[in-house]
Amino acid sequence: MIIFVKNYLLLILVIVLYFISCSGYLVKKEPKSYPEAEDVSQIPAIVKRYKSVESMRDSSQDNLDVEQKSVIQQQEAIYNQENTTKRQIIYESQLNIQVRRIEHAIDNIKSIIDSYKGYIESSQIHQERNEARIKIRVPVDKFFNALDDLFKIGYISSYQIRAEDVTKKLQDVESRLNTLKKLRDRLYELFKNVKDVKQKAKILKEINRLTAEIEELEAKQKFLKDKATYSTIEVYLSTKEREENSIVKISPFDWIRKIDPLKRTIFNTDLSFYESFVAKEIFDSIKIPSDFFNNKEKFIKNDDYIIYNSSGVGIRVGFIENEPVGSKDFWLLALKEEFLKRKYNILMEKKGSKLNYLHTEIIDGVNQYYYTIGIWTKHSRDKSYVVINEIYYPEKEYFEKYKKTIEELF
């Protein structure tokens, strides 16, 4: 029994020793470190190779990171440069505008230009054709503001707007200029050192050619920069002429048929009439408003207005013999019928104890203005006269402002 137990214990011991010996191959061995080694020769070769591979891997990764960062930084620099560089854009426009009065429209254009610190580059005015062509320049950042204001001065029959980005062109020109100037400088140095006359002549010829090309590029650069700094707007102004049949001549009275709100049509060929008692009495009764000018002397010599102001409001006074004899109501009716045939808008008709008058609005093509006519009769000795007061207002604003003053004036 004792022998059996001994044999059993021996078998168990053998089995344990076997597993212990096998487990040595399953345990992972870490590379041995040699912190105390003073020379790499003391480090085993396999460890040297291991460290070399790891070092190469780390170095390669570092180089890759640096390279990637460098590329990204370059791209970012390029992006920032492109976005911080101010775009150079040339804006140009052409406007065809129909207006009521050329002179008034030109004054408006000048006012618009001054408000944006621009200038008139050129202008052509044809008085006989009622046309004008004006080329204006305004700072590029005020281009669209100026257009908005110009659109308000009349009827826009047509317009064009063009834009061209010349940033790349200017960059190319500048780059080319720098290259040519450096090349010319090197040729100057070479010219100083060369002794051969023929060689000097060739170099000088090339220098002259480069100088001509540089001057041409500089002119192009200046032109593009000017265009990109000040935009160009060409304005064509015109007035639409009144249609031939817009006035239907049906009145039996010659002076009514000839009445034109835009100009004087009632004249007294006998200038001595203005020295008569009737004329003096009428002229003396007119009280000139504070902001109007007395133009009596020139009016007697056939000027358009006896009184006018700086806004373009003008007053005329005419005298016609009352033949056939009619009351102020009769003549007011005759004028009203004529104006309705002409398609004037009768804004107000008023009959007073002394004066009858009509306020009218006139739209003739693109021309729109306002006109008041007053009628009253004056008796002197054995004659009777019809006194006609005419008032012209170039704008509705002035009509609203002065109509009450005019009513009180007479």
The pLDDT profile of the chain, 410 residues, written as one tens digit per residue, is 544 544 555 555 545 455 544 544 444 444 444 444 344 444 444 334 434 444 444 444 455 444 444 544 555 555 455 444 578 888 999 999 988 788 888 889 999 999 999 999 988 888 767 889 999 999 999 999 999 999 888 888 888 988 888 888 888 888 898 999 888 888 888 888 888 888 888 888 888 888 898 888 888 888 888 888 899 999 999 886 544 444 444 678 888 988 999 888 887 655 556 666 566 677 666 777 788 888 877 877 777 788 888 888 998 888 888 888 888 899 999 999 989 888 899 999 988 888 898 999 998 766 789 999 999 888 776 778 888 889 999 999 999 998 888 777 76
Residue pair 288/314 in contact by the 8 Å Cβ criterion: no
Helices (H), 194-312: 197-229, 254-258, 277-285, 296-300
**Residue 167 sits in which domain range?**
86-239
Q: How far apart are the first and last CA of the chain?
A: 160
Q: Express the helix, strand and coil content of the chain in percent, nearest 5 each.
A: 50, 25, 25
Say what the pLDDT of residue 347 is: 92
Same domain, 174 and 304: no
Residue pair 404/383 in contact by the 8 Å Cβ criterion: no
Residue pair 373/320 in contact by the 8 Å Cβ criterion: no
Note whether residue 159 is domain-resident. yes
Residues 268/357/347/299 CA torsion (nearest 10 deg): 30
Residue pair 130/122 in contact by the 8 Å Cβ criterion: no
Say what the pLDDT of residue 80 is: 52
- Return the number of other C-beta atoms located less than 10 Å from residue 178's C-beta: 10
Look at the block and give the residue holding tokens 């791209």: 75
Same domain, 218 and 313: no
Same domain, 272 and 227: no
Same domain, 267 and 209: no
d(CA 333, CA 349): 10
Q: In total, how many domains does the chain have?
A: 2
Same domain, 225 and 261: no
Same domain, 115 and 232: yes
Note whether residue 176 is domain-resident. yes
Burial of 191 (0-12, 13-18, 19+ CB in 10 A): middle
Same domain, 218 and 299: no
Residue 219 is encoded by which pair of tokens?
A: 């002119």
Same domain, 283 and 350: yes
Say what the pLDDT of residue 270 is: 56
Query: Facing residues of 356 across strands?
Result: 351, 375
> Assign residue 113 a region: left if phi > 0, alpha if psi is -120 to 50, beta otherwise?
alpha
Same domain, 268 and 215: no
pTM, two decimal places: 0.43
Same domain, 230 and 95: yes
- Residue 11: CA count within 13 A, CB half-sphere: 6
Note whether residue 117 is domain-resident. yes
CATH number for position 380: 3.40.1000.10
Residue pair 278/378 in contact by the 8 Å Cβ criterion: yes
